[in-house]
Structure formats: structure tokens, C-alpha cells
A and B are shown apart, each in its own frame.
Chain A
Amino acid sequence: MTYIAKPRLHHPSLVANKVGYTRRDYEGKVSTLCAGCGHDSISAAIVQACWQLDIEPHKVAKLSGIGCSSKTPDYFLGASHGFNTVHGRMPSVLTGASLANRELLYLGVSGDGDSASIGLGQFAHAIRRGVRMVYIVENNGVYGLTKGQFSATADRGSTAKKGAVNHDAPIDLVGMALLMGATYVARGFSGDKGQLVPLIEGAIRHGGAAVIDVVSPCVTFNNHAGSTKSFDYVREHNEAVSRIDFIDLARELKASPEPDEVIRVPQPDGTMMRLRKLHADYDPTDRRSAMNHVQALQAAGEIPTGLLYVEAEATDLHAALNTTRLPLNRLGEDALCPGPEVLERLNSALR
């Protein structure tokens, strides 16, 4: 953490995006996390992505549970809506908010404790319902706020700061997200913004449930030799399977023919995502192939990162439930209270 607020003075070259904000306008309050925390880098990556995508801060809702990770929404997008919910219950609150107002961008920020332990059920069900959201798990493998016990994502055989060995099998949130039907599954690393920012941008543009597992070293309790979530370990075992870059459709038509390993994924907003495969025998648009590939890499001790799976024509909960196209707060009284005849019709349909 830092003692003083970040000064307002900025680099003279700072520019505004299409909606009139500079990158600094997307920042929040000053972080109270430990100095060097990976979570702060993820916050900075979210700031960067939102600025680059010209997102209006008031059209974003940040939701989180409990934990170091869940404190972070206070440290970015200070002008957005926020809801710091109950431990592990962020996905339910997010689902409800999304049903009430489908026009906001929902950023669910959670950690390995919040999503893989107390909130594992919520995590799974929000995904399988296909809630349109960007679900970011800031995964450091320990409970930082309670002095560094192993969390459910700690790898078997990895050691705690004082030497204790973890005997439990880890929960693989990427594997779970793939199993539960997430339509955008990625893994990033807080120490590599070049990869993380495009992953977040892709998730924001995605039309369904997007999950990003971000390995985020805890410098205080989990950055030692023997940890599998330390800066050094992740850097050594990081195996990127793909690289994203965005191009818009108009320019794509004129672009020169792409080499084979590039996959074009149309985005809901009409732009095109270009996914550069880094592994030849790997198809990130095929769920089973992605699961196999990720499992194989993990079995070999690598940490697969990048966009692991994406379904271009994803749909979401609103489509499945055929909900109203307008957010509830914009419906008029006649739509919300259609009168006794409509109620009668509804009741008789249920008899």
C-alpha cells in the first residue's frame, strides 16, 4: 500500500479516448494492498483495457466478494458502480444485477478463496447459466488476509512460506470453467500485462460468460521457492498457447492473407478478434480439444496461459430466458403493472 494518494499531476502526453477520458480517469482510490501485490497489476490492466475500449465508467458495475482480491474494485474505475458483496456470493448478486439491468458491463472480481472455496457453487452456477460477465479470479493460492494458509487452488506438493507441504489436490478454475460451459476461458499472469490487457479486452467484448483466471503472486505469503504461484515459478513455467490482437472488420477486409495459425473470431460489436495460435495442434474454438490440451500441459507441469477457449457465437442468460430488452429501470408503469386482466391470464395459465 502507499501512504499518500497518487498525485493528480501526470505525464504531459496523456490523451483522452473517444469518450473523453484519460487513462488516469479510470483509476480508483489508492490501493491498501501490500506493496508489490499482483492484484494491483490486475487493477492497472483493467484500467488500461477499459480506457482502450472507450468504456464509459458509469456503464460498468464492479462486484466482488471478500478477500484481498475483492478489495481491489475500490482501486480502479472510481466512477463506476460497485457492490462489495458477501463472501463467495458475488456471482448471485451479479446475476441478479444483470437481470435487472442488462445494459451495464458486469465485472466480477474474486479470488481463489472466494471462488474456489466458499463460493465454488456460486462460481459454477453463474457460469453454467451463461450470465454475461467478465469474471476475473485473482488467484494467488493463499489466504493473504488471514496470514497465508493454503487456499483450494494451491498445488499439491507446493510449500507454504514456513515450509508446510500442501497435500490436497488443487481446484483448477480454468478446468471447471470449461466443464461448466463458460464461453470465454482464459488464463493470465499479473506480471505480463502485454498478455493480460488483451485477454480482459476480449472478455469485455464477449457476449457470454467470460472467465479469466489470473495468477497473481502474493509477495507477502506466497512468493518463495517451493511456491508454484511465485513470480519466478510462473515465469519459468508460463506456456502461452495463443496471442490476441484486435482489428476491426473494415481493415480486416484489406489485410493481406494471414498465415494458417491465425483464427478470426467475430465479436458481438462487429469487430474481429484475431487469435494467433502458438501451439500447432491446438484449436481454441473446440471445447474438448481445449480441455485436453490444457490438461496435458498442466500434467507436464506447465501453466497454460492465453485465451484457452472461445465460442464466437456465445449467447447469455437473457437470451435463454427471453427477458425484456430494456433494463427494468427504464420500463414504464404500464409495462411493470400491466393490470388485472394480464394477471388473470397469467394465473389461469398456471392452473
Chain B
Amino acid sequence: MRPTDVSDPDYYHRVVDCQWACPAHTPVPEYIRLIAQGRFDDAYMVNWVSNVFPGVLGRTCDRPCEPACRRGRVEEENLAKPEPVAICRLKRVTADYKSDELRAMIPRPAAPNGKRVACVGAGPASLTVARDLALQGYAVTVFDGEKKAGGFIRTQIPRFRLPDSVIDEEIGFIIGLGVDFRAGTRIDSMKSLLAEDWDAVFVGSGAPRGRDLVLEGRQEAAADIHIGIDWLASVSFGHVTSVKKRVIVLGGGNTAMDCCRSARRLGADDVKVIVRSGFEEMKASPWEKEDAQHEGIPIINYHVPRAFLHDNGRLVGMSFQIVRAVYDDKGRRSLVPTGEPDAIFDCDEVLIAVGQENAFPWIEPDAGIAFDKWGLPELDARTLQTTIPRVFFGGDAAFGPKNIITAVAHGHEAAVSIDRFLHGEDVTQRPPAHVNLASQKMGIHEWSYDNAPSNDARHKVPWAKAEAALASIKVEVELGFDLKAAFQEAQRCLNCDVQTVFNPKLCIECDSCVDICPTDCITFTEDGEEEDLRGRLNAPSPNQEQALLVGGPLKTARVMIKDEDVCLHCGLCAERCPTGAWDMQKFLLVTAKAGPTCRDRKQGALA
């Protein structure tokens, strides 16, 4: 194999599994270390720079980082059920324990540069664009039809998961940068918006239409049947304050989980989730399913809705066809009726949460923005630029419903595009991330990070008492870690960003690193092709997703192979190394953000 090119910024980035998995590439181990040091403000700012909404995301993020977490692959007891570091809940810790000093740490906007940018919708994508650009001196105006900013964050996520105060504070940080928020101002016409002479327009209006289920009885019983996301928004704004006793929620995504748990709190005592697919295939995150079941809500799978049953317009129940999953030889699933008689469930109200669709009725067909056959704008996936160069899309409006952290990532990219575009630079040229590697050696056996891995199992987040939590939609269910548990959970992080950096020129092949490595990651052997090498390492290397670090050739013409898969980043290889051929170096990735650093001409004039 060719020696690993560690100058490729992606190489060490991939080793930091959580950061690599995060759409916004949040430096997770960096802020977790700051938590362990009690530096909550600094930890919050690391998050704020990357993901803009630490308090919101610390409660609601889809956490792609956690399934990726290396901790889940190395723990002794949990190979069947991985227990990653509670990254998401540690993010909440930074928000919960930050001090009043934090406001002073938020950067001041640069002097106004005279450029005006309009953002349509005040959801996470638009607010990220607004923050990134306002800091660079842009005059950003954010329009939203609702009275309060937040979009999806405000309307779709129930208050028992995310209190208003958290949203208000974090949106306040952004508005406080001088962003002009026009509440209750719905944009009805793209053409007239474009006529207002904005230098750039960003559309972050979300995917606001819930999919309906047109079945027999839908029209007749319409009064008792609601589209899930609309219903959640009504609950959020207090328009809906109660439900009937027996509620069926259709659908298997996170919206369905929010609907059923909200219904439980608004007075329903018989709530069921009924889903077409199998339980395992449901789109909802595993922990959201667990939370619903924890509250006594059954999830019934393999039931396809047939009809709404009504008695002169009053909903009385639903009928379902019972199916089973059949897989063809290509692994494709089809749901085949089992032949059993249809199942009938009595109910008084139904919430339909079977997906969302994008809809842009306010963008005129002749506005100049091209749409594809699915009704989504034709975009360059990296620049997010539409067929009108000064119009950009992001969040759910861009590629259909995803999640908050993806919307934030889109916001950063769109802000970079807008910044380059308004400086007359090619938006397709994307600035690379800045990468820094710094040795963490402090003394002969001392590192600037806690290198001894903790053996703790994952710490559980305490919950409010069930009676109190179920009694009101406003009582937050999860209480967040206390300081002790937060520290202990932070110590479970393996510091994967502190990289094992190997210098073959210094290696004397004494085998010390091989002997001490607790996870048998290191092998000195004759060179070969990757497949061959993976077969003759000191420990099996089945995880092809994880790279091999190859160093050499060494004096004996052998090579050093380190399988990155289950490295604990404990630094023992470097402590045992007599020549400093191994060093532990902290990898810091600074993704390009709008501003001079993302431009070719750092001091360039505006176009």
C-alpha cells in the first residue's frame, strides 16, 4: 500500500467519526473536553460557531454523530447494542450551564458592507445564513409568516421536548446581531420579492405541507382527521389544547412520535401508533421510538390503512389490512397481505404523519427558478444556487425533509456561496477547510488531554416524573445531565481528534507500541495490497469503512500498519515510543465560513 497521505484534510477528519458524520462538522471531542474542564462557555461557543443552536440541537438533534461514535465499537459489554457517548445531551449541557459571560463572547458584526440579503422563512437554515452573513456586515432581513422566528424548531417540535425559552435565547443571539426579522410577513410572490432589488435571496421556507392520506371516509370524517405537522403547529401556538380520548397516529417517523406523545399530554388516554412497515424499518430515531413506548404508547406495525370508519361524519375507527414483509433476491421489500381479515381499531381522532412534501405555491412558474419533476428546485448540491444566480435554497426547501443539523449545514454553505457571489468570485470554487495538527505532549508521560479511557457505561439522562410530564404539554420531559453526570459522561469520550501521528523516519521497530496497544491496532509487517494486509494484521480488521494508517517503508523494508477502527486514542503507543516516532497531535478542522477566509482575494472589493 502507498503510505497514507496525512496531508489530505479528510484523512484525520474521518478518524473523528462523530465530526465526520455531523453535517456541520462540529468538533465534538473538542467541546466535550471543554465540558470536562468546566469551561461551559467555551464549549458552547465551539458549538455555536459550528451548529448555531446548541441548546435546541442538544435536545432535538437527529445525532448522526452517535451511531458513528467509536465508543460504541470498543466497549466490552455492548457489542450487540452499542452505547456511544451521549454527544447530543452533552451539547445540551453546554447550553444549560453557560454563564452570563457568554453574551460578551459572541462576536460583533463587521462594519456594514452595504449588501442586502433577504431570507424567506425563519427556520434553522435561514437563521444560519443570517448569522453567518450578519457577522460579515451584511444587512439581512428574515421574513416569516408566523409571529415568532424558529420555523420547524418552533412549530413542529413539542414544548415538552424543547421549551420556548431555549429557542428564544438562541434566536435572540442571531437577531441581536442586527438581523431584521419581519414577523407575520408571509412572502406570497417570488417575483415581487425579486423586484425589491435584494442583492441575494435565500429560500429556507422548509417543507411545509404534510402528506394527506386519501382513503374512504376521509372527506366525511374530516373534522376528526388532522395532518400531523399542521396539528403540531396548532398545538405549539395554543390553537389546539385538547384531543379526544382515543387517538390513532398514522406513520412511523419522528413527526409521528411527536404527535403521539403530544396527544398523550392533551388528554388522550388511548394513543396508538400504527405503521405500514416493520418496527425496525420505521424512519423514527430508535430513541424517539423508545421514548414513546416508555410513555405507554403501543406501536403496531405491518398494518396498512384501508378506510376511515365513521357514523354520520363522526369518526369511530379505522380499518387496516395486515401485511408481512417479503424480500426479493435483491433485498427489495414488498408488503404482501397475509390474508387475515382486516383489523379494526376504534378511535375518535386520527393524526396523519405519513411524510411531508415540498410546496412552493408562492414561486411563480415564470419567476426564472427551474424545478425538477419532484417539485424541488434545480440546485447545485454544493453551492445551493438556483437557476437565478442570486437566489439560493437551503434546509428542507432544498432537497426535501431532512433535519435541523442538515439545515444548519446548508445555511453555512449558502452563506459562503452568497459571500463569494457578492464579491464577484466563482461560487463553484469551494474553499477547503483549514486543518491544524498540534502535539499534545506536555512532559515525558503527560499529555494535555485526559488519555486514560473511562470504563463507565453510558450515563442515563434523568426524566421528569411520569405523572408530571404527562399532565402538561409544557413540562420538559428530559431534565438534562447534572454536573457530575455530565463530567462522567464527558470522560467517556475517547478524544478521537487527538490523532496518532507516525513518523517512519524515527521508528527503530522496537515493537513497544505493538506490545502496549490495548486494542491490538498496530502491526509491523511486509507490505502488500490493502485486502491482503487486512487479512494478516495482529487483530482482525473487518471494518472496511475505517482506514489503515500506513507508514514506511522502515529500515527492515517492512511497513507499520495501524487499523484506525478501534483505536482508543489513549496515547500509550506514543508514551512507549523511545524515539518519538509516535506522537499524539490534536486535529482541529475549521470549516470555511462566510467572510474573508472563504474568498480568493481576502480583502477583495464587493462586486
**Would you call A176 an interface residue if the criterion is a C-beta within 8 Å of the partner chain's C-beta atoms?**
no
A235–B524 alpha-carbon span in the complex (Å): 15
Q: Mark A3-32, 1 if CB is under 8 A from B, else 0.
A: 111111111111000000000100000000
**Would you call B510 an interface residue if the criterion is a C-beta within 8 Å of the partner chain's C-beta atoms?**
yes
- Other-chain residue from A3, A8, A11, A231 in contact with B509 (beta carbon distance below 8 A): A231
Please state if A219 and B515 are interface contacts (CB–CB under 8 Å): no
- For A40, list chain B residues within 8 Å (CB): 512, 515-516, 576
Chain B residue with the shortest CB-CB distance to A5: B452
- For A43, list chain B residues within 8 Å (CB): 515
Please state if B539 and A231 are interface contacts (CB–CB under 8 Å): no
A219–B520 alpha-carbon span in the complex (Å): 23
CB distance from B150 to the nearest CB of A (A): 41
Please state if A193 and B511 are interface contacts (CB–CB under 8 Å): yes
Please state if A2 and B508 are interface contacts (CB–CB under 8 Å): no
Please state if B512 and A223 are interface contacts (CB–CB under 8 Å): no
A85–B511 alpha-carbon span in the complex (Å): 29
Please state if B539 and A37 are interface contacts (CB–CB under 8 Å): no
CB distance from A69 to the nearest CB of B (A): 16
CB distance from B463 to the nearest CB of A (A): 29
Q: Identify the interface centre among A1, A2, A40, A223: most chain B CB within 10 Å of its CB.
A: A2
- Known pairs A44-B511, A191-B511; A6 contacts B518 (CB<8 A): yes
- Other-chain residue from B73, B508, B514, B540 in contact with A231 (beta carbon distance below 8 A): B508
Chain B residue with the shortest CB-CB distance to A8: B455
**Would you call B556 an interface residue if the criterion is a C-beta within 8 Å of the partner chain's C-beta atoms?**
yes
**Would you call A190 an interface residue if the criterion is a C-beta within 8 Å of the partner chain's C-beta atoms?**
yes
- Other-chain residue from A10, A41, A217 in contact with B76 (beta carbon distance below 8 A): A10
Please state if B577 and A9 are interface contacts (CB–CB under 8 Å): no
Please state if A13 and B572 are interface contacts (CB–CB under 8 Å): no
**Would you call A164 an interface residue if the criterion is a C-beta within 8 Å of the partner chain's C-beta atoms?**
no
**Would you call A36 an interface residue if the criterion is a C-beta within 8 Å of the partner chain's C-beta atoms?**
yes
Please state if B512 and A37 are interface contacts (CB–CB under 8 Å): yes
Please state if A219 and B578 are interface contacts (CB–CB under 8 Å): yes
CB distance from A106 to the nearest CB of B (A): 24
A36–B540 alpha-carbon span in the complex (Å): 25
A95–B93 alpha-carbon span in the complex (Å): 63
Chain A residue with the shortest CB-CB distance to B445: A3
**Would you call B453 an interface residue if the criterion is a C-beta within 8 Å of the partner chain's C-beta atoms?**
yes
Please tell me the number of chain A residues within 8 Å of chain B, measured between CB atoms. 34
**Would you call B530 an interface residue if the criterion is a C-beta within 8 Å of the partner chain's C-beta atoms?**
no
**Would you call A34 an interface residue if the criterion is a C-beta within 8 Å of the partner chain's C-beta atoms?**
yes
- A-facing residues in B485-529 (Cβ within 8 Å): 508-512, 514-516, 518-521
Chain A residue with the shortest CB-CB distance to B566: A11
- For B516, list chain A residues within 8 Å (CB): 2, 6, 40
CB distance from A121 to the nearest CB of B (A): 33
**Would you call A208 an interface residue if the criterion is a C-beta within 8 Å of the partner chain's C-beta atoms?**
no
A36–B453 alpha-carbon span in the complex (Å): 22
- For A44, list chain B residues within 8 Å (CB): 511, 514-515
- For A10, list chain B residues within 8 Å (CB): 74, 76, 518-520
- Other-chain residue from B73, B445, B508, B555 in contact with A219 (beta carbon distance below 8 A): B508
A38–B568 alpha-carbon span in the complex (Å): 24
CB distance from B515 to the nearest CB of A (A): 4
**Would you call B356 an interface residue if the criterion is a C-beta within 8 Å of the partner chain's C-beta atoms?**
no
A32–B315 alpha-carbon span in the complex (Å): 77
Please state if A4 and B578 are interface contacts (CB–CB under 8 Å): no
CB distance from B81 to the nearest CB of A (A): 13
- Other-chain residue from B75, B445, B508, B575 in contact with A9 (beta carbon distance below 8 A): B75
A193–B558 alpha-carbon span in the complex (Å): 15
- For B73, list chain A residues within 8 Å (CB): 12
- For A191, list chain B residues within 8 Å (CB): 509-511
Chain B residue with the shortest CB-CB distance to A40: B515
Chain B residue with the shortest CB-CB distance to A44: B515
- B-facing residues in A305-337 (Cβ within 8 Å): none
- For A35, list chain B residues within 8 Å (CB): 512, 575-578
A1–B572 alpha-carbon span in the complex (Å): 9
- Other-chain residue from B508, B555, B570 in contact with A36 (beta carbon distance below 8 A): B508
A6–B573 alpha-carbon span in the complex (Å): 11
Please state if B568 and A9 are interface contacts (CB–CB under 8 Å): yes
A11–B568 alpha-carbon span in the complex (Å): 10
- For A235, list chain B residues within 8 Å (CB): 555-556
**Would you call A232 an interface residue if the criterion is a C-beta within 8 Å of the partner chain's C-beta atoms?**
yes
Please state if B75 and A36 are interface contacts (CB–CB under 8 Å): no
A219–B577 alpha-carbon span in the complex (Å): 10
- A-facing residues in B71-106 (Cβ within 8 Å): 73-76, 79
- Other-chain residue from A9, A13, A34 in contact with B578 (beta carbon distance below 8 A): A34
Please state if B510 and A217 are interface contacts (CB–CB under 8 Å): yes
**Would you call B446 an interface residue if the criterion is a C-beta within 8 Å of the partner chain's C-beta atoms?**
yes
- For B566, list chain A residues within 8 Å (CB): 11-12
Chain A residue with the shortest CB-CB distance to B571: A4
Chain A residue with the shortest CB-CB distance to B71: A9
**Would you call B429 an interface residue if the criterion is a C-beta within 8 Å of the partner chain's C-beta atoms?**
no
Please state if B579 and A36 are interface contacts (CB–CB under 8 Å): yes
**Would you call B440 an interface residue if the criterion is a C-beta within 8 Å of the partner chain's C-beta atoms?**
no
Please state if B515 and A9 are interface contacts (CB–CB under 8 Å): no
Residues on B close to A: CB < 8 A? 73-76, 79, 445-446, 451-453, 455, 508-512, 514-516, 518-521, 539-540, 555-556, 566, 568, 570, 572, 575-579
Which 8 A-B pairs rank lowest in CB-CB distance, beginning with the nearest?
A: A36-B578, A3-B445, A44-B515, A4-B452, A219-B578, A11-B539, A2-B575, A36-B510
Name 18 interchain pairs, CB-CB below 8 A, sorted by A.
Answer: A2-B576, A3-B445, A5-B452, A7-B453, A7-B572, A9-B74, A12-B74, A14-B520, A14-B539, A35-B512, A36-B578, A41-B510, A41-B511, A41-B515, A43-B515, A219-B510, A232-B555, A235-B555
